């Protein structure tokens, strides 16, 4: 097998005006979301497509629905 | 053209407002040709991380491309800015010589960093500004080359965030701020001083009431900055955080009403010509748009915030697609900032505030929310690690409720004193 | 007065199986004053003054973010008389005072709330919750293995009930031999948390005994965790301070642990029960979940909207509040009808339709504001594990009773039994 193509990534953005640091995304996808200090959300804007299920879980669980995801990985890079 | 179906939409600018505007046009059913013109060679990206996690290396600069619902049916014309607008022929000329026609035009050209007054000093190696992705890449590279000291000139949001990122990287940093406190213009002296103390506690060397007079070089590189008071700061990197300038020069000769403060719009969002008549083929959105805000007595304001770019972009996109929103654009200005280990969030505009009170929490604990009043009405609120309460105060501000709020609440230390916010 | 009966009807046990038509009537007035027959302490006068009920999505959302509302509504603790004068006149009054000054954070306002909650959340780490997710999946399979060969399963008794207690014991690091006591205490305490349920003197004494027994047990366990810390939530709470330097004292730690046990158990039981009942009533959705287990998070989140385990929460006004065209005066009891807001057509198109593919749903099922459910991530994972396993392993499931018999409480609402006939259990 030839070397694998780079993992296509997802695009994530969070409306940090809306975000109230409920941290539900941090439980759903801990490798891509975390709270720093009391209420600063740090997130990975380009998570790997293999983590799609966790990212979607984070998006669904957000109490203020602040997470936006673009997934074009199906269409090929 | 008149009321016919628009067939060719042009978006000038490729930032967040431009993108959300283009998406809104598609969402509202516009199916004609759609071209997006950007000065930079990049698809729309998120700017807030550029002054925070991109500098600390936690986010790769090219990871900040924002999610979009746009499909393949968009013509991206990137890397060449617009240089003129010919409304008679409905043409936009680009720097690379291209001319694009439109029957609907969205102006979302945003802003750029204000340059150093002395252009020679501004071009020295080691002197940076921060607005775009390339700026962040360059500054990040400089910060990782073991600088002896970083000098941040300007204590607004960008300056404070960069100083904060430097401390996170354990770099010595001096912040020079002409005003009496960082963020004083936006938050007033009182809250600015509290945030300033947080920066100092994290090791930022804060020079207040100070001004850089000139930058000294050796072999074309910055070596120190000389302050007006005669002192000097040894620094091999300087970030000029002097605020933003609106990209409106390309409108010269277009007959539209604009100046360095933005392009003027009516309450619907259509741009105005020099005679004050709306051009219903053209709307503006984001940093560059100056519009009459109903909350501020119809005074025209331009708002340079992320959430505004999104909301006004959507509004303008719908407008141009013929899906005119029922109400004129009136979203409450709001922003957030991560710095000094805390989250600042704000709603409303503090301009003209004549009083302030700590409505929630307690500055002594580092968690509080301040409400600003003007002539007896609530006009703005700022929270420091206290964001859960912000929506409640946003409602009061939107409804211009009486200031100070007379009520008993949970999560407040003692009785709320009326304070001077400290705007000069 | 028609309003006088609406809340009473909701509390009336005969309407437990389907209160949603009543919620719809309640929503016609987004915020209304209701005489509340049968709730609260008679001497408090609540009955005469009534309570204010917020039923629209918008009103509930605003009120749960409003700092003029307090959660410190609990009446003072009164341990029932035992007949022993030393206990009744010396020991219990002291215990009552201690209990009242160490109420769990669900019933505390800031700053006490924030200290306790931040300390708890600091130890309720994503890593611990993710570990419990994997543990839930194994536990569910073990529980279903026990039913293999049977043609009937009670989803509540056989799965929904034992699962959360086992998860909490694991989270706390309760020695395996003691798990059975936790099951017993938890079921006993559950009857004590429903406000306004009239219980016999005997039950009250039993509840108080349970409370004291579990407190004594937890005191020993906490002491043990201090001597010999392990990698569990209680050890973390007992031994580590927050970044702000706060560490819970023993009494707060015990009351927090009891809160987690009761709030984390009863809610999860109802969530799983309500969710499975909903899927049985929507066989197409059950089929889709079976075919596509990745739908589980959507299904669970939609159940949290469509039929949430906690139907309402209570607050008290510290100042008058103008809302939805009315004014709630200062010092009034306010009920936020989460389950009614969740079916508000102004917030959710076609709200009575169960549709896991809804997008942008800001439901009220986990509450909101300062008191948003701490255990929400754990509850979601437990329910996901239960639903995917049930969908996968129950061959041709059929409800034996529809509606099923319900548990008494109107607040923590869910089936008492959920008997399902199956061809077999895989």
Following DSSP, what letter does each residue of B280-310 receive, concatenated?
EEEEE-GGGEEEE-GGGTT-EE----HHHHH
Q: Search chain C and give the residue with CA nearest A57.
A: C297
**Of C294, C297, C362, Cβ closest to residue A65:** C362
Give the residue from C58, C66, C67, C325 with the most B CB atoms within 10 Å of its CB, the best one to mutate: C67
Q: Say whether residue A45 is in contact with chain B using an 8 A CB cutoff.
A: yes
Nearest residue to B151 via CA among B136, B168, B171, B131: B171
Nearest residue to C132 via CA among C186, C78, C173, C177: C173
Interchain pair A38, B367: CB under 8 A: yes
Q: Say whether residue B392 is in contact with chain C using an 8 A CB cutoff.
A: yes
Mean pLDDT in residue range A64-75: 83
C-chain CB neighbours of A56 within 8 Å are 297
Pairing of strands B104-107, B8-12: parallel
Q: Which regions of chain C are under pLDDT 50? A: 1-4, 39-47
Taking the CA of residue A40 and the nearest CA in chain B, the distance in Å comes to: 6
Q: Is 0.95 surpassed by the pTM of this model?
A: no
**Of C68, C110, C111, Cβ closest to residue B407:** C68
Cα separation, C253 vs C218, whole angstroms: 9
Q: Say whether residue A6 is in contact with chain B using an 8 A CB cutoff.
A: no
Q: How much is the pLDDT for C41?
A: 41
Distance of CA B382 to the CA centre of its chain: 17
Give the residue from A41, A55, A63 with the most C CB atoms within 10 Å of its CB, the best one to mutate: A63
**Helix, strand, or coil (residue B267):** coil
Taking the CA of residue B30 and the nearest CA in chain C, the distance in Å comes to: 23
Q: How much is the pLDDT for C2?
A: 44
Chains with 3 or more CB pairs closer than 8 angstroms to A? B, C
- Residues in CB range of C255: below 8 A, 6 or more apart: C99, C102, C103, C104
Cα separation, B423 vs B353, whole angstroms: 8
- Is-contact C260 C119, C-beta < 8 A? no
Q: How much is the pLDDT for C190?
A: 72
Interchain pair C65, B388: CB under 8 A: yes
Q: How much is the pLDDT for A2?
A: 45
Pairing of strands C152-154, C419-421: antiparallel
Interchain pair B392, C370: CB under 8 A: no
Percentage of the residues of chain B whose pLDDT score is greater than 90: 94
Cis peptide before B186 (omega within 30 of 0): no
Taking the CA of residue B32 and the nearest CA in chain C, the distance in Å comes to: 28
Cα separation, C90 vs C340, whole angstroms: 45
Tokens encoding B401: 């409720």
Q: How much is the pLDDT for C46?
A: 47
Q: Give ipTM to 2 decimals.
A: 0.92
How many beta-carbon pairs below 8 A join chains A and B? 63
Phi, psi of A48 (to 5 degrees): -65, 145
Q: Which regions of chain B are under pLDDT 70? A: 1-4
Tokens encoding B253: 């000769």
Q: How much is the pLDDT for C81?
A: 84
Cis peptide before B404 (omega within 30 of 0): yes
Residue whose token pair is 């707060």: C252
Q: How much is the pLDDT for A22?
A: 98
Q: Search chain A and give the residue with CA nearest C302.
A: A60
Q: How much is the pLDDT for C37?
A: 57
Give the residue from B408, B414, B415 with the most C CB atoms within 10 Å of its CB, the best one to mutate: B408
Q: How much is the pLDDT for C42?
A: 41
B-chain CB neighbours of C370 within 8 Å are 388, 411
Give the residue from B368, B407, B413, B415 with the most C CB atoms within 10 Å of its CB, the best one to mutate: B407
Taking the CA of residue A27 and the nearest CA in chain C, the distance in Å comes to: 5
Could you tell me the CA-to-CA distances from C255 to A25, C77, C191 in Å, in that order? 28, 14, 17
Could you tell me the CA-to-CA distances from C352 to B291, C278, C345 in Å, in that order? 41, 12, 9
Q: How much is the pLDDT for B329?
A: 85
**Of B365, B395, B409, Cβ closest to residue C318:** B409
Interchain pair A60, C298: CB under 8 A: yes
Q: How much is the pLDDT for B294?
A: 86
How many beta-carbon pairs below 8 A join chains B and C? 40
B-chain CB neighbours of A9 within 8 Å are 63
**Of B66, B334, B345, Cβ closest to residue A13:** B66
Mean pLDDT in residue range A21-32: 98
Q: How much is the pLDDT for C101?
A: 84
Q: Say whether residue C131 is in contact with chain A using an 8 A CB cutoff.
A: no
Chains with 3 or more CB pairs closer than 8 angstroms to B? A, C
């Amino acid at each position: 097998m030839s070397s694998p193509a780079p993992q296509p990534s997802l695009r994530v953005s969070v409306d940090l005006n809306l975000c109230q640091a409920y941290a539900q995304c941090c439980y759903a996808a801990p490798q891509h979301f975390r709270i720093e200090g009391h209420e600063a959300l740090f997130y990975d804007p380009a998570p790997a497509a293999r983590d799609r299920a966790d990212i979607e879980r984070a998006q669904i669980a957000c109490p203020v629905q602040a997470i936006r995801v673009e997934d074009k990985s199906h269409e090929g890079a | 053209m008149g009321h016919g179906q628009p067939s060719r939409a042009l978006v000038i600018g490729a930032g967040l407002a431009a993108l959300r505007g283009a998406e809104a046009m598609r969402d509202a059913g516009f199916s004609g040709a759609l071209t997006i013109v950007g000065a930079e060679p990049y698809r729309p990206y998120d700017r807030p991380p550029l002054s925070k996690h991109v500098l600390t290396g936690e986010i790769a600069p090219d990871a900040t491309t924002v999610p979009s619902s746009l499909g393949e049916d968009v013509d991206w014309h990137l890397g060449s800015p617009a240089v003129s607008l010919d409304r008679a022929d409905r043409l936009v000329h680009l720097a690379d010589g291209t001319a694009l026609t439109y029957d609907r035009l969205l102006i979302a050209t945003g802003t750029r960093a204000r340059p150093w007054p002395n252009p020679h000093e501004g071009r020295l190696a080691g002197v940076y500004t921060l607005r775009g992705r390339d700026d962040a890449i360059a500054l990040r590279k400089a910060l990782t080359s073991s600088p002896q000291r970083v000098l941040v000139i300007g204590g607004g949001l960008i300056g404070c965030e960069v100083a904060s990122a430097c401390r996170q990287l354990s770099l010595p940093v001096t912040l020079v701020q002409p005003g009496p406190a960082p963020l004083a213009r936006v938050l007033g002296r009182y809250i600015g001083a509290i945030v300033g103390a947080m920066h100092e506690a994290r090791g930022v060397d804060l020079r207040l009431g100070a001004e850089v007079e000139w930058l000294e070089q050796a072999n074309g590189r910055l070596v120190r900055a000389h302050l007006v008071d005669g002192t000097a700061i040894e620094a091999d990197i300087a970030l000029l955080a002097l605020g933003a300038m609106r990209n409106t020069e390309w409108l010269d000769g277009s007959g539209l009403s604009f100046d360095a403060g933005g392009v003027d719009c009516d309450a619907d969002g259509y741009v105005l010509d020099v005679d004050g008549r709306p051009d219903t083929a053209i709307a503006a959105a984001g940093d560059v748009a100056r519009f009459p805000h109903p909350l501020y007595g119809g005074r025209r304001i331009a708002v340079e915030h992320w959430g505004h770019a999104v909301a006004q972009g959507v509004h303008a996109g719908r407008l141009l697609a013929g899906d005119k929103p029922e109400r004129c654009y009136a979203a409450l200005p709001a922003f957030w900032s991560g710095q000094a280990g805390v989250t600042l969030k704000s709603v409303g505009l503090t301009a003209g505030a004549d009083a302030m009170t700590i409505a929630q929490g307690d500055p002594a604990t580092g968690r509080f929310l301040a409400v600003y009043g003007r002539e007896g009405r609530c006009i703005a609120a700022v929270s420091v690690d206290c964001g859960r309460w912000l929506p409640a105060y946003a409602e009061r501000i939107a409804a211009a409720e009486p200031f100070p709020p007379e009520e008993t609440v949970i999560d407040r230390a003692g009785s709320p004193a009326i304070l001077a916010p400290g705007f000069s | 007065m028609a309003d006088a009966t609406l809340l009473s009807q909701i509390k009336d046990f005969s309407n437990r199986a389907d209160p949603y038509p009543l919620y719809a009537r309640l929503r016609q007035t987004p915020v209304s004053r209701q005489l509340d027959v049968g709730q609260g302490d008679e001497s408090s006068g609540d009955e005469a003054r009534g309570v204010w009920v917020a039923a629209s999505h918008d009103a509930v959302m605003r009120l749960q973010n409003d700092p003029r509302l307090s959660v410190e509504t609990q009446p003072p603790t009164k341990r029932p008389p035992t007949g022993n004068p030393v206990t009744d006149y010396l020991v219990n009054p002291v215990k009552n005072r201690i209990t009242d000054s160490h109420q769990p954070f669900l019933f505390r306002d800031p700053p006490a709330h924030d200290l306790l909650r931040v300390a708890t959340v600091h130890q309720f780490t994503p890593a611990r919750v993710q570990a419990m997710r994997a543990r839930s999946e194994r536990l569910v399979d073990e529980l279903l293995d026990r039913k293999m060969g049977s043609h009937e399963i009670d989803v509540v008794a056989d799965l929904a009930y034992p699962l959360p207690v086992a998860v909490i014991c694991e989270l706390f690091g309760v020695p395996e031999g003691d798990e059975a006591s936790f099951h017993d205490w938890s079921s006993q305490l559950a009857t004590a948390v429903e406000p306004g349920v009239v219980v016999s003197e005997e039950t009250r004494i039993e509840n108080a005994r349970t409370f004291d027994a579990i407190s004594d047990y937890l005191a020993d366990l906490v002491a043990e965790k201090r001597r010999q810390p392990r990698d569990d939530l209680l050890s973390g709470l007992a031994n580590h301070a927050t970044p702000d330097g706060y560490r819970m004292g023993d009494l707060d730690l015990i009351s927090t642990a009891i809160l987690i046990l009761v709030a984390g158990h009863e809610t999860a039981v109802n969530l799983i029960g309500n969710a499975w009942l909903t899927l049985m009533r929507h066989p197409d959705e059950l089929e889709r979940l079976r075919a596509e287990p990745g739908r589980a998070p959507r299904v669970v989140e939609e159940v949290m909207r469509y039929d949430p385990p906690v139907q309402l929460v209570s607050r008290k006004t510290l100042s008058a509040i103008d809302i939805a065209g009315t004014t709630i005066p200062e010092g009034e009891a306010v009920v936020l009808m989460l389950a009614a807001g969740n079916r508000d057509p102004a917030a959710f198109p076609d709200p009575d339709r169960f549709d896991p593919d809804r997008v942008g749903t800001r439901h009220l099922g986990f509450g909101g504001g300062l008191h948003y459910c701490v255990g929400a991530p754990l509850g979601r994972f437990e329910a996901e594990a239960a639903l995917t396993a049930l969908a996968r392993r129950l061959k041709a499931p059929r409800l034996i009773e529809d509606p099923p018999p319900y548990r008494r409480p109107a607040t923590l609402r869910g089936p008492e039994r959920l008997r399902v006939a199956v061809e077999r259990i895989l």
